[in-house]
Amino acid sequence: MQQQQRFIVALVASAAVLILWNVLFPPVKPPLLNANANANSQAVAQSSPQLTSQSTASTTPRPAQTAQSSAQSPAPSPGPSPDTVPQRKLRVTTPLYEVTFDTRGAVATSWIVNKVKRSDGAWRELYSAGSTKNNPKRLELILTPPAGIPTEQLFRPFQILTGDATTDGVLAGRNFKVSGANSESGDVTIDVPTGSRQIEFTVHDDATGLDASKRMTFFADRYVAEIELRLTRNAQTVPKAQLIIGPNIGDQGIDHYTFYSFAPEGIAVLNGQVRRINSVEVHSDRQSTGTINWILEGIGIKSVVNKPPDRESIDGTVQWAGVDDTYFGMIAVPSKPTTGPEYRTIPYQVQTSGKTEQRFLITGLVPVPTDGSKTEIYTGPKDHRLLAAASEDIKQLGGPPVDLGEAINFGFLGSMRRFLAVPILFAIDKLQRVTGSYGVAIILFTIFIYSLFFPLKWQSSRKMKKAQKYAPRMKELQEKLKGMKSTDPKMKELQMEQLRLMKEANPLGGCLPLLIQMPFLFALYSAITISIDFRQATFLWIPDLSGPEPYILSFIRILPLLFASSMIILQLMTPAPSADPMQRKMMAVGMPLMMLYILWSAPAGLLIYWLVGNIVGFLQQFIINRMTRSDDEGPPPDVKGAKKKPPPKKLSPAEA
């Protein structure tokens, strides 16, 4: 009863600490803005076609705005000359993707991924996460502007910023001439069935002396494209430029973002280290300095570092940078390391399930050379095989050596999980080729993994049973030792017995085998949740193993309920060091219910793995309990190896 009370007190204390922590150190909440307020207060200054260099210095910089206000400029630049080139649409199609360009600004307005090539050479169609069996939707990676945000506020992929208002106005608002297309006028479709195709966008402005050229190369068999940017003004090379990546590159068919399917975010390799830039951090008016510094700032030990809201300037040398979501991304790889990357956000609101949700458009501003050097662009699935192949392609095309596989978010202990997840994915892929189903492949692989660790589980259960069996004796020894004096001759004997029991039935010995399994379990979780192979792979009634199981009767999911039920049974069967049955029951029910809440919207493939693992664990525990039944029958020894005293001899009546 005392242990049960301690357990309840511990739960209450833990909850109180969490609540108190949130009260004392609340997370930074961005100001809730509606789209119209944001448009009125923050989007005044634009270097768009409708904008001039007369922006005020107090206006917060927005998407097409220059990096310097006119108050900081030494002198206003001459206005651009009138545009006489007609606007056109260019559609480039390859077996892998389709991209549409608008000659106004030479920017991409659509990027649709059609197929992915599997490791066995077979092609698989890709569709949006918002697709259904009867209504497949194409996988669009470029955002359709949200309602309520003026079009002139938005960045466009491959837009160029230089920091000069007039130059940026020409680059964003003028129609570029096109060479390499099938015709000189009108909208056109350019097919690239094999090999490669090169298209060049050019613009010249007499008033400013600006000459700009974007030469892009598309390949039929890879997701890597090339862009060669050349900017001159009055025959002098423009010293710096930023290439726009975004906003919100990723599957645009996702209706609701979760822990398992995160919203688009920035990603960059700075000084050799991967950094992920969350949109909430960019939107905030305080610099993100890490968790420890955030705590120190909250208690007043360190001062808060302020920054302009909706803007994050990053220090360091950038090897590559871009924007991505869980499964897809767009990454720019300059020909040489550059400095000065930035990320910008625009807040907006959407209605989901009758509730107003604030989201952010996040855009990367990647510095690129302006002398015609190549910048490699990867746009496609974040699959470890494809990213490794793209890294090799970039090297062969003359780019720098990079590891695009770092774009995959492996989470906590990412290096270890990546090291283990790649061979796990290889094994599951081989099983899928034999069985024809990723669901069956996950089941077979789970059985193999649990069978591989069966000796460790047996050792763990044996130690736990001994700890449970010897618990009363250990408690008895502790009570005896408390009341003894250090000079008592029996104290040494009891201490020796206590050491022997601890060595033979140490509960930590049962935990160690489980800890050895954890890296493999984490890696398998990563393999299931981030591999493109599992995306939209069907199994039984489940349409997508990478997404949550569809509801039955509008509110029931079978897999999470089966998982929680199997976990309760397994918990009750598994021996625990504690001898208190009430505490065991509370843990056996409380832990599965908590996991049910956490995994309610988890990917179906992950739940299949956990469910099958629990079933296999149930069978293994049944076998272990049968094998160790003989150990439960005898009482625990008082002293290991001690000679048992013979029972006292009964006296006969005559001897008495």
Per-residue pLDDT reduced to its tens digit, 152-166: 778 899 999 998 888
Q: Are 110 and 136 spatial neighbours (Cβ–Cβ below 8 Å)?
A: no
Of residues 243 and 436, more confidence is placed in 243
Q: Beginning with the edge strand found earlier in the chain, give each strand of the sheet holding 342-352 in spatial order.
A: 160-161, 241-245, 355-368, 342-352, 311-313
| Mean local confidence (pLDDT), 288-305 | 71
Average pLDDT score over the chain = 76
Rounded to the nearest 5°, which phi and psi values hold at 451?
A: -70, -35
Selection from 582, 455, 606, 599 nearest residue 526 by Cα: 606
- What is the model's pLDDT at position 599? 78
Amino acid (one-letter) located at 73:
S
Dump pLDDT digits (tens) for 89-146: 999 999 999 999 999 999 999 999 998 877 667 788 888 888 777 888 899 999 888 8
Dump pLDDT digits (tens) for 401-420: 999 988 888 877 777 788 88
CB-based contacts of 532-535 (< 8 A; 24+ apart in sequence): 532/116, 532/327, 532/381, 532/382, 532/383, 532/386, 533/118, 533/383, 533/425, 533/428, 533/429, 533/432, 533/438, 534/438, 534/603, 534/605, 535/126, 535/327
Question: Collapsing DSSP states into helix, strand and coil, what is residue 573?
Answer: helix
Q: What is the value of pTM for the model shown?
A: 0.75
- What is the model's pLDDT at position 46? 37
Of residues 370 and 626, more confidence is placed in 370
Helix H or strand E segment including 570: helix 558-573
Amino acid (one-letter) located at 300:
G
- What is the model's pLDDT at position 559? 86
Question: Could you write out the DSSP letters of every residue in 408-471?
Answer: S---TTHHHHHHHHHHHHHHHHHHHHHHS-HHHHHHHHHHHHHHHTHHHHHHHHHHHHHHHHHH
Most confident of 10-19, 252-261, 355-364, 586-595: 355-364
| Mean local confidence (pLDDT), 518-538 | 76
Dump pLDDT digits (tens) for 1-57: 444 444 454 545 555 544 544 444 444 444 333 333 343 333 333 333 333 333 333
- What is the model's pLDDT at position 501? 61
- What is the model's pLDDT at position 140? 92
Most confident of 291-295, 443-447, 516-520: 443-447
Q: DSSP letter at 132? A: -
In this predicted structure, the answer to whether residue 477 has a pLDDT above a threshold of 60 is: yes
